[in-house]
Structure 1
Amino acid sequence: MKPLLLLLMLVVLSNDRLHSQEIKKRLFYCSYGEGDDDIEQCKLQQQNFFTGNDQAEKAVDRILKPLGLSGNFVLLPCPYIKNAAAVISEDGIRYIVYENKFMERINNVAKTDWASTSILAHVIGHHLCGHTLRGSADPAEQQQKELEADEFSGYMLFKLGASLSQATKAVNLVVSDDNDSNSDHPNRSKRLTAVEAGYNKAKKKQPIANVDNSPSAEKFINDGNRLRKQKRFQDAIDQYTRAIELKPAFGDAYIWRGLSRHDAEDYQGAIADYNKVLELDPNNAIAFFDRGNAKYALIDYPGALADYNKAISLDSSDAVYFNNRGNAKYYLKDYKGAIADYYKSIVVDPDYVLAYNNRGYSKDVFKDYEGALADYNRSIALDPNYALGYFNRGLTKDALKDFSGAIADYTKYIQLSPSAPEGYYERGLTKQKTNNWAGACEDFKKGCRLGDIHSCNKLRNDCQDKQ
């Protein structure tokens, strides 16, 4: 029988997929270039920034460090907006959102990462100068805010060691020099002048005006997110709690605190946080999904299923939602329903490795070994280092009496997961079937040393007379 621990869903979203509420309505919006492509309905997700989330955080820290400031915003990627922007949401939370591909394109065309750094400095400047807290429908006033943000960008680029040419690369690439009388964004000439003014202020060691560094809920969120990445869950919880104390209606703070409580195995505490989110926003799909994950961890599969159903009714665009609902159905012995959900997960994301693995696992229940084998093959093709795919494929090959193939897969699994005892145990069982008792007993010995009771039992009961 396959160890149940190996059919694992993504119980909580990993660090590279940290998520937040949708910004359904923005009270204020300051973009680097004109336009606000899909910003209001953008589902914010942690994705790669340039080449990774850590680089995004490092870029922000690098910009703020010369002034000894901390960010008063939450940094989150937003696909498809073709821009970078400072946003304040309807619940008063400040965000910096950007499309990573937009940033990458700017760098590629400019042939320097100073271009994206200057854009990031510009949108940071909007928040630090309080622009997003003082919205205006007057294009002239908005133009002035854009110029102040450009001045901040020029100031910081000098501090960071860029040349004036490097500091103005992005403006030259993104902004036109057309007539701006009917626009809320100044033309290129005005913006270049503003960047140069800030650059020269820094060069002359003059202070930058209107910068606010008062404590903010967003700062505590960013600190909490970093601590969670370091697996310092209680410290992260403390930071999220400080954010909530400053802004009790900050839905994302409850989401992230719930995720950290889940990480710390305080599932009831996590559920309490998700309940609070749903009090604030009864149609928050993410809160239903995460609450379902917490119930799943408590082995409340009916409760988890109900929450996954609600999450999917609100948002059917996330492959993980279907995958996790499939797992709940699997443990409720609705195997056909589980397979159907894994199929839907793959339709949403054809490269979702875990869904192929889980669908293969469920096909094994019906002894559809060839179908299971095809799914495991696909998961491994997508990720050649996907250890679980090799392990489960080994189990299926064993069921098909392809013992040499099974042993090869278990061996690969052991190479990828050397501290996981089940690889040694299953390889030992298969070696028994080929009458390789010396190899089998050696595997049981290794599995036993790693703490696997089944390996210890086999070593004691089957190997005494074979040593």
Structure 2
Amino acid sequence: MKLRSIFYLMILSTMLLACNDKDNAEIGNDFYSQGEYQKAIDSYNEYLKLKPSDEIILYNRGRAYEELGQYDKALRDFKKVIEIDPKNESALLSFGKSYFREKDYKNAAFQFEKAFKLNTSSSKSALLLARALHRDGQVEEAMEYYNIAISNDNKNGEAYMYRGALKIFLNQMSGGCSDIQKAKNMNTEEAESLYNQYCK
């Protein structure tokens, strides 16, 4: 009888711990969606004490660090996610963005290309790869990936805007302004000022 009671207590304790873990993860996600990034990190930290290899929560914590401008900590989380799952597209994109932010466009393009190869129908990956190539001076390759980004999603205003900017750089004014006009019609940030600067 005593052994049975101990057994039930152990099961109950395990269930309570599991519920608490789940609560910490969900609470962290709630805080994140409300813009309470430090509180989100605190909740994720509690969760990760018992499940340190949960790649979803590690990634979410990395994004929260990123929102707070704590890029080194964010990068550490993204790297850990990629170690756990080298095919995690979101972590590869975030890793690439950290290189892009540091103006290391070659390494940014390398990470974005890995993400794109995992999902060739992704407009976002193609756009980020195009932007890194564009900044690295690889204009033909950049144009190819801007085209892919638009082909994958013809409502990607950013892709139109940046492709338009590249066309203008290449003295293709008509095509460039047409792309920027499309981006402007989609209310893409910066498209109107770009249009006013080059196309009026």
TM-score (ref. length: structure 2): 0.84
Query: Aligned match of 1:277 in 74, 81, 103?
Result: 81
Q: 1: CA distance between counterparts of 2:25 and 2:81?
A: 16
Q: How does 1:57-206 map to 2 (within 5 A)?
A: none
Q: Does 1:317 align with 2:121?
A: yes
Partner SS state of residue 78, structure 2:
helix
Displacement of 1:213: 6.5
- Percent of matched pairs sharing the same residue: 24
Query: Aligned match of 1:253 in 48, 57, 72?
Result: 57
Q: 2: CA distance between counterparts of 1:284 and 1:239?
A: 23
Please name the residue that 1:217 is paired with.
21
Please name the residue that 1:228 is paired with.
32
Please name the residue that 1:335 is paired with.
139
Q: Does 1:262 align with 2:66?
A: yes
- Amino acid in the other structure paired with 2:173: Y
**Unaligned segments of structure 2, at least 5 residues:** 1-14
Alpha-carbon distance change, 232 to 298 in structure 1, aligned in 2, over 3 angstroms? farther
Q: 2: CA distance between counterparts of 1:295 and 1:387?
A: 23
Could you say which structure has the higher strand fraction? 1
Displacement of 1:351: 1.0
Displacement of 1:376: 1.4
Please name the residue that 2:198 is paired with.
396
Give the superposed CA RMSD: 1.8
Alpha-carbon distance change, 218 to 338 in structure 1, aligned in 2, over 3 angstroms? farther
Q: 1: CA distance between counterparts of 2:30 and 2:168?
A: 40
Q: Does 1:386 align with 2:188?
A: yes
Q: Does 1:244 align with 2:52?
A: no
Q: Is the 8 A contact 1:267 1:297 kept in 2?
A: no
Q: 2: CA distance between counterparts of 1:390 and 1:228?
A: 31
Q: 2: CA distance between counterparts of 1:281 and 1:322?
A: 21
Q: 2: CA distance between counterparts of 1:262 and 1:273?
A: 10
Q: Which structure: larger Rg?
A: 1
Partner SS state of residue 303, structure 1:
helix
Q: Is the 8 A contact 1:329 1:337 kept in 2?
A: yes
**Unaligned segments of structure 1, at least 5 residues:** 1-211, 398-405, 407-467
Displacement of 1:218: 3.3
Q: 1: CA distance between counterparts of 2:16 and 2:181?
A: 53
Q: Deviations over 1:58-109 (max 9, x none)?
A: xxxxxxxxxxxxxxxxxxxxxxxxxxxxxxxxxxxxxxxxxxxxxxxxxxxx
Please name the residue that 1:361 is paired with.
165
- Amino acid in the other structure paired with 2:157: V
Q: 2: CA distance between counterparts of 1:387 and 1:251?
A: 32
